[in-house]
């Protein structure tokens, strides 16, 4: 006897009072077969779902019993059969608990590792701009831009792309940059300022920044990725723009700034950083690491 019966606009889920486990397993299979998937497993095995954020990307939240009940009613209509016939009901808490248990014990859900609003770069060089869950990478893609790329990029294409990328950050005060004067219009006045000379090779500092941008763009296919440190002189470095520069790779690759974590006290910092990582965002900026050493547990 199958507890799923088609009736009305949504399929019925028949709740058998004496067979709550069977009803829970049937609902779990229904979630598992849903395409596109609505709920997922985080890497640690926690059932989760994706919440879209207006004018931004998305974040990952733990799936509670109440969330599951809401999702279940969007997917099907729980009913019970009585002598008077079919009666629509709310999904019982115990059936929701059985569903969560079945999803977990049978590992029925796909694993999600994060969210992104940037296109996904495949290992073979293909670029994926399809919104929704991407099983190959485990990423949930939110409103990525549509890219027009040459089928076979040339060396000249690469040089032009690098120059265009460097042009956007040429006014930053990289410590070892080769510079030249460039005239800008500021409030109707002509102002000369030193900028990076794009006809010269980038210095080490600018190269590190470019590596950060490329790492962000390729992050979806990297199992591990390095962190990048932005430093300025302790006396004259305030207001130089390093915070803006540190946000730039995320804005370029994903169209939005990174999530920000302030250091604070060690225990609070650990909690805050862990919470940000569990949301599944694309990047985290740890701000104001003044006179502090950041290291992982050996």
Q: Is the pLDDT of residue 1 over 50?
A: no
How would residue 5 be classed by pLDDT, with cut points 50, 70 and 90? very low
- 229, 234, 197, 200: which is closest to 212 by C-alpha? 229
pLDDT of residue 288: 75
Q: What does the pLDDT look like over 184-236, one tens digit per residue?
A: 888 888 999 899 999 999 999 999 999 999 999 888 778 788 889 888 877 66
Average pLDDT of 284-289?
82
pTM over cut 0.85: no
- 248, 236, 231, 225: which is closest to 292 by C-alpha? 231
How would residue 287 be classed by pLDDT, with cut points 50, 70 and 90? confident
pLDDT of residue 201: 94
Q: What does the pLDDT look like over 250-282, one tens digit per residue?
A: 888 888 888 887 766 677 777 777 777 777 778
- Residue 195 to residue 189: CA distance in whole angstroms: 18
Domain boundaries, the chain: 4-54+61-110, 113-147, 155-257
Residue 117 makes CB contacts below 8 A (sequence gap 6+) with 56, 57, 58, 141, 142, 143, 144, 254, 255, 256, 282
Average pLDDT of 86-112?
91
- Residue 5 to residue 111: CA distance in whole angstroms: 29
Alpha-carbon Rg for the chain in angstroms: 26
Q: Is the pLDDT of residue 7 over 50?
A: no
Q: What does the pLDDT look like over 152-171, one tens digit per residue?
A: 889 999 999 999 999 999 99
- CB 30, CB 76: distance < 8 Å: yes
133-45-221 Cα angle (round to 5):
45
Collapsing DSSP states into helix, strand and coil, what is residue 286? strand
- 292, 293, 179, 174: which is closest to 242 by C-alpha? 174
**Whole-number average pLDDT of the chain:** 85
Paired with 182 in beta bridges are 193
Average pLDDT of 36-51?
91
pLDDT of residue 6: 44
Q: Is the pLDDT of residue 28 over 90?
A: yes
H helices of the chain, in order, are: 20-32, 65-75, 93-105, 155-168, 204-218, 242-254, 266-278
- Residue 298 to residue 296: CA distance in whole angstroms: 6
């Amino acid at each position: 006897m199958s507890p799923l019966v088609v009736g009305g606009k949504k399929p019925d889920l028949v709740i058998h009072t004496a067979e709550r486990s069977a009803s829970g397993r049937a609902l779990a299979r229904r979630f598992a077969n849903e395409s596109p998937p609505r709920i997922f497993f985080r890497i640690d095995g926690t059932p989760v779902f994706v919440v879209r954020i207006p004018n931004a990307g998305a974040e990952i939240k733990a799936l509670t019993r109440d969330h599951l009940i809401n999702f279940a009613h969007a997917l099907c209509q729980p009913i019970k059969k009585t002598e008077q016939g079919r009666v629509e009901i709310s999904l019982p808490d115990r059936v929701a608990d059985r569903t969560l248990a079945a999803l977990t014990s049978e590992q029925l859900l796909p694993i999600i590792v994060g969210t992104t609003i940037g296109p996904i770069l495949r290992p073979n060089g293909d670029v994926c701009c399809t919104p929704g869950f991407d099983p190959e990478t485990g990423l949930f893609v939110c409103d990525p831009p549509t890219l027009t790329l040459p089928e076979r990029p040339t060396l000249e294409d690469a040089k032009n792309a690098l120059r265009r990328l460097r042009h956007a950050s040429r006014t930053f005060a990289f410590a070892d940059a080769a510079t030249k004067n460039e005239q800008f219009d500021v409030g109707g006045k002509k102002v000369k300022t030193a900028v990076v000379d794009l006809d010269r090779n980038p210095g080490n500092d600018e190269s590190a920044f470019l590596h950060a941008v490329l790492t962000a763009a390729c992050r979806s296919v990297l199992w591990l990725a390095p962190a990048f440190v932005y430093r300025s002189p302790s006396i004259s470095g305030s207001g130089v723009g390093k915070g803006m520069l540190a946000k730039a790779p995320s804005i370029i690759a994903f169209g939005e700034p990174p999530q920000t974590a302030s250091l604070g006290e060690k225990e609070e910092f650990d909690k805050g950083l862990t919470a940000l990582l569990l949301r599944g965002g694309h990047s985290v900026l740890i701000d104001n690491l003044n006179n502090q050493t950041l290291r992982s547990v050996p």
